[in-house]
Structures are given as C-alpha cells and as structure tokens.
Amino acid sequence: MKVARLHGVHDLRLHDEPDPQSPTAGQAVLRVTSIGVCGSDLHWFAESGIGDARLSRPLVLGHEFAGVALMGKYKGRRVAVDPAIACGECEFCVEGNPNFCSNMHFAGHGADDGAMRECMAWPEHLMFPLPDAINDADGVMLEPLGVAIHAVDLGHIRPGMSVAIFGNGPIGLLTLQMARLAGAADLFATEVLPHRIDAARNYGATNVIKADGTEAAQILSATNKRGVDVAFECAGENEAVEAAVAATKPGGTVVLVGIPSEDRTSFTASVARRKGLTIRMSRRMKHTYPRAIKLVERGMIDVRSMVTHHYPLVDSMKGFDTALRRDGLKVVIEP
C-alpha cells in the first residue's frame, strides 16, 4: 500500500509498505478514503514537531479521517474515526475526561502513525458509521467540528450572549457556527486573510473585522466599551490572545483553542486580573462524534462548503503546501 511519511521539515515522502495484517483484539482494518490536513499537521510539517513533541522517526500524519471498514461489525460501511485512543483506566478516563488520558495514543502524533496511507488498523469502538447524507469529506470534518463543540462547551454560551472568534480558519469558523447555534446574538469574527473574512461573514458573523492590531478596540467600541461575554482564540498567535483578553468584558471567559508555534502563550496579566477573567484551555475534544454527526446530518452545521481542495495521496506535498499557504479553507487528501 502507499503511505506518506514525514521525514523532516517539508520532507514528506511516499513509500510502498505492507498492508496491515492481523489487527489486535478490538481492532478492524480500514480502507482510508479521506484525510483532512489540520493546523497541527502543519506544525509537524513546517516545524518537525508541535509543542514539546518532536519528530523522532518518519511519521505518518493525519488525524482527521474517514474510510470503509474492511472487517468486523462495520464491515463494508463508511465510518468516521476518532483519532484518540484513551486507555479507559487512568484517573482522568475514569472521571470522564479521556482527552486528558495519561496513556493517550493519538493518530499522527509522536510515536503513533496516522491516516495518510491506503489502509490501517484502528479500534472498532472509535469508528462511527456515517449516514448517507454525510459524504467521506464531511466525515473528515467531524473531528475539527468536535474540537469546536468542546470549545463552545467550555465557553458556556447562553442565548443572547456576545461572542468573538479570533482567527477564522476551519476551527474558528466551526466555532463560529457552533456559537451561533448555541444562541450567541452578536458574533464578532477577526481574521487577517480576506477570503476567510468573507467566509466568517457567510457562516453567520454579525461583525467582521480585519485583524490589524485594532480589533480589540473596534469590538469595545461596538459594545459600548463593555466587551464580549466570551472570546475564543483560534489563531495560535499571542497577538490574538492579547486581543481576546482586551476585548472580553469583566467577569467574562476567554477560551484558548489555538496552538502557538513557540509553545508559549502570553497576555497582559494586569488586564486579565483586573477583569477577573476566566481563562480556559481547550484540549482536543471528548464524546463529541455522535453530536457532530447529528448536527451535520440535520444541516445544522455546514462542513461541506469548508472543504475547498482535494488532492490524491501521491500529491500530498502539494496538499500540504496549499494548506501552509492558507489557500482556501480545508485541504483533503484522498488515497
């Protein structure tokens, strides 16, 4: 089978490798049909790591994926796949927080190969059958939608609240849609790239602002100096974190979703302290796939229009280059 492995910075190579054989108990072999290129994949591709995790061997990237089960209880069915294998036994798993699992294995991260290959074995309990209304590329988008669902859960949005999204790539735009669905009345979206500014407007932002260093002041002006109830930082940039803190009302909440390249987040402590802000760090997602499937199947969240580029596995480098340039919205690789 064909496999794409990352060997170093901008060094993605196609290999011929054996098909998976004899999966372990509880696993099934999956024919991969679609893989999304995520911002965290781009950290690996451009920086040879993410956070404190570094590339130690050629790694198969890809944690947003869908495919067809070739065996087991879902044999012949199209499925979306949760990329996080939690142990189910540690303190955090038992508490109901598998995203904090102390023995986590995650597709395309560290020592665990991901989905950028034609076939792979994966635990069956992490496969979710897709209804006919959801195509394979939609299935890829259920993982980033899960991240957005979890972030909005952390924000505790109530109907009529004001919300700001700082950074409107795919995660930011899905968070925007989820905040609107949760009842946010005023939705501010800030972004650098013009086509993503247009996308934010199309997905329901009531106020769209170009990120140029004045976005916090513009939000404060538009809210009569009050600030928003909840801000979501989805850019992974300290400038966006600072703006989110500055634009949030006293007693409000800032949810940090983006992953910074330098593995360090900073903001003006006196501003956050005097406002008594709640700062929440969002860690992936938990228990979101059934909710995500319902939202997409019923047309409550639009993921399909966010997939703007398709590349075959043999052109994975082109797909990653496109994503790294921030062209379009979501790049999907199709083996």
Continuous segment of H or E residues that includes residue 175: helix 170-182
DSSP 127: E
Give the whole-angstrom CA distance, residue 268 versus residue 327: 32
Residue 22 has pLDDT above 80, yes or no: no
The average confidence (pLDDT) of the chain is 97
Q: Which of 267, 256, 201 is nearest to 231 (CA)?
A: 256
- Compute the average pLDDT of residues 181-198: 98
Residues 280-322 have pLDDT tens digits of 999 999 999 999 999 999 999 999 999 999 999 999 999 999 9
The beta strand positions in the chain, using DSSP E, are: 2-8, 11-16, 27-36, 49-50, 53-54, 64-69, 78-81, 84-85, 105-106, 119-123, 127-129, 162-166, 186-191, 207-210, 228-233, 248-256, 278-281, 307-312, 330-334
Between CA 66 and CA 293 the distance in angstroms is 13
pLDDT bucket at 135, cuts 50 / 70 / 90: very high
pLDDT tens digits, 23-52:
889 999 999 999 999 999 999 999 999 988
pLDDT average, residue stretch 261-274: 94
What per-residue confidence (pLDDT) applies to 215?
A: 97
Q: What are phi and psi of 268, to 5 degrees?
A: -70, 110
Quick: pLDDT tens for 140-154.
Answer: 999 999 999 999 999
pTM, whole model, 2 decimals?
0.97
Average pLDDT of the segment spanning 232-241: 96
Q: What is the percent of the chain where pLDDT is above 90?
A: 97
Q: Strands 228-233, 248-256: parallel, antiparallel or unpaired by DSSP?
A: parallel
Distance CA 145, CA 167 (A): 15
Burial string for 174-208 (b: 16+ CB within 10 Å, else e) reads: bbbbbbbebebebbbbbbbeeebbebbeebbbebb
Taking only the tens place, the pLDDT of each residue in 81-93 is 999 999 999 999 9
List strand residue ranges (DSSP E) for 139-277, in order: 162-166, 186-191, 207-210, 228-233, 248-256
| pLDDT given at position 176 | 98
Mean pLDDT, residues 219-229 taken together: 98
Q: How confident is the model at residue 197 (pLDDT cuts 50, 70, 90)?
A: very high
pLDDT at 234: 98
Q: Residue 132 carries which side chain, given as an amino acid letter?
A: D
Domains of the chain as residue ranges with CATH: 2-141+303-334 (3.90.180.10), 146-281 (3.40.50.720)
Q: How confident is the model at residue 334 (pLDDT cuts 50, 70, 90)?
A: very high
Q: Categorize the per-residue pLDDT at 261 as very low, low, confident or very high, splitting at 50, 70 and 90.
A: confident
Please check the confidence at residue 108 and state whether its pLDDT lies above 90. yes
